[in-house]
Chains A and B, each alone.
Chain A
């Protein structure tokens, strides 16, 4: 029997006590691992936000935003100008269209209802589709329809039509120059593939999951826009019912459908780092001219969310360290107790020739056996509890951020509601970051093997430190202890 086997045997010498120690250690280690998992999840989210959205500037036509306002449309020349601004890494142009269900549009036209022309620089020509919106008009949609003032101003030009056909919401189709959404965030494809070259004409389209489901479409299915057939190349999940009632085309395809080649609705400008965002915004505004373009910084609205997530990250890290320290303290106290309890046995070992290092090593290994058992149970605890703990941490620490996010969401709704008669459209700059609340709740903490392994390594490191103190204490026990009580 060597020192390791002896340590393992000693760890189980008192099974009840071992079970109690392992249970206490498991709670501390489980908490530490859960906090580490939460910390890693939040850190990953913050990095993702900073990398993908936090450095994004949105350029709208001066005086226009989404389908609202006026001014002159953006052009490819302005996109090239923006790309030449220092610290700008990419520029992606978009062209937004509002699609109306062909049958509903015909019925509304027959009933004397009409949409307002020129939305977001789109031509007055109605762009129709075979698709049906995945979102019902509901109270908000019908109220917006009524407040737009179009009811009763149709071809009959006089009295209101008493029996208006059911109102159908339009669908947002956005032509993009890269695989990003209207906010510049990478599309999360759940099925299929992307559209390949987004700056080339293509008959492919990416549909929101609910829009595809509403219309019974899958990857490979076809639908029409203005009688032109498009094939579903992929499905994406935007995370919201509104966002999923949309589709994406290549930029030239959208410009062709709008019959406005070269025109852009927005420019999504990505700056090379967060530190350069403010300077790039100023430079971009100057380069494009304040009378030609409005440059907005989505990061401002995101800052609250990122700040809250940063706070959660810090709290979870502190809690991780505290739980780790607790585990170390438990080990230290347990081992000090065991050393005191086994003074005589230590004296025996020394009396028969055991060197101090062997006795100390025996106690360190015994501590590590207890920690190993605690880690196994703790990892199981963490794998079940980490998600809930992370959610609780985020929800309890982001109240203010959620309020800010709610305001942002309202901004988006207002922008959409005041636009085309319908339930509301993405309203330009308010759109991407208004949902700070959504960003916060979209953090998913999963106990990955790598994080758990790193956490357990940290636990073992602390445990070794905790066990070294009592192990050093054994060196101070003299072999004469063997005769105590004889």
Chain B
């Protein structure tokens, strides 16, 4: 369960104060596949960074399974990101000089998992995201965009997080590859009971999620609820 309470984030730009996240509140049950849509600059990524503890809110709170992030020290926030959060970024953000399997092993290394165990799990995750086994040891820069995004999703799953935050996960992919990625996220949510929150400006992608939110000028509104069955059908 994730609870967002009156979340506000402001930035100062010269004389102006920008408020990309303005009094946002919502709740997500465990295992939900949800999306936030909005135009570029509407504050989607800022909201995601607050939920993932990449940034700190100006006010408000994020409560994950009853634990408040407000006032949590940096070391605890790092632990929270490592243990409870998986990130999938639009530009993948993989470490370019490492292989696919090494990239997936990274979060497990930070979590103190032994090398043999993390290698075995990394290979399993790469198989789960359907990356060709012969590409497991390839360097990231020798993989296609879709393959890199699969590796990024595998990395997000590395420590079995309860929440996956995906920022424009199909933004750099063609339509077909993007469709595969959404199917993959949907199946992960279903199979692993993982809460997945996807930020996108792609309406067709948002229509495939159970809950849809719209962010406009920092304010969040929810669109009519859909069941997982209807979400899976064409909008």
A-side residues, CB < 8 A to B, are: 1-3, 6, 9-10, 13, 344-345, 347-356, 358, 478-480, 482-483, 485-486
Contact = CB atoms under 8 A, between A and B. Distances in A.
B89 interface: yes
A351 B105 contact: no
Nearest to A342: B95
Contacts of A358: 110
12 contacts: A1-B102, A9-B98, A347-B54, A348-B93, A349-B106, A351-B81, A352-B110, A353-B82, A356-B78, A479-B53, A480-B49, A486-B167
Q: Which 10 A-B pairs have the closest CB atoms?
A: A353-B82, A353-B110, A479-B54, A480-B54, A480-B55, A348-B93, A352-B107, A1-B102, A13-B97, A353-B81
A356 B89 CA distance: 21
A338 B212 CA distance: 41
B82 A352 contact: yes
Contacts of A348: 93-95
B193 to A, nearest CB: 21
B95 A345 contact: yes
Nearest to A2: B109
Given A13-B97, A480-B55, A483-B167, A351 B87 contact: yes
B87 A486 contact: no
A479 B89 contact: no
Given A354-B110, A483-B49, 5 more contacts: A354-B82, A480-B49, A480-B55, A486-B90, A486-B167
Interface of A is mostly: helix
Interface of B: 45, 49, 52-55, 74-75, 78-79, 81-83, 87, 89-91, 93-95, 97-98, 102, 105-107, 109-111, 115, 155, 158-159, 167-168
Contacts of B53: 479
A351 B54 contact: yes
A480 B95 CA distance: 16
B47 to A, nearest CB: 11
Contact of A353 (B74, B89, B111): B111
Contacts of A353: 78-79, 81-83, 107, 110-111, 159
A479 B81 contact: yes
Contacts of A351: 52, 54, 81, 87, 93
B91 A355 contact: no
Contacts of A350: 78, 81
A486 B168 contact: yes
- The CB with the most chain A CB atoms within 10 A, among B49, B53, B168, is that of B49
A478 B110 contact: no
B97 A10 contact: yes
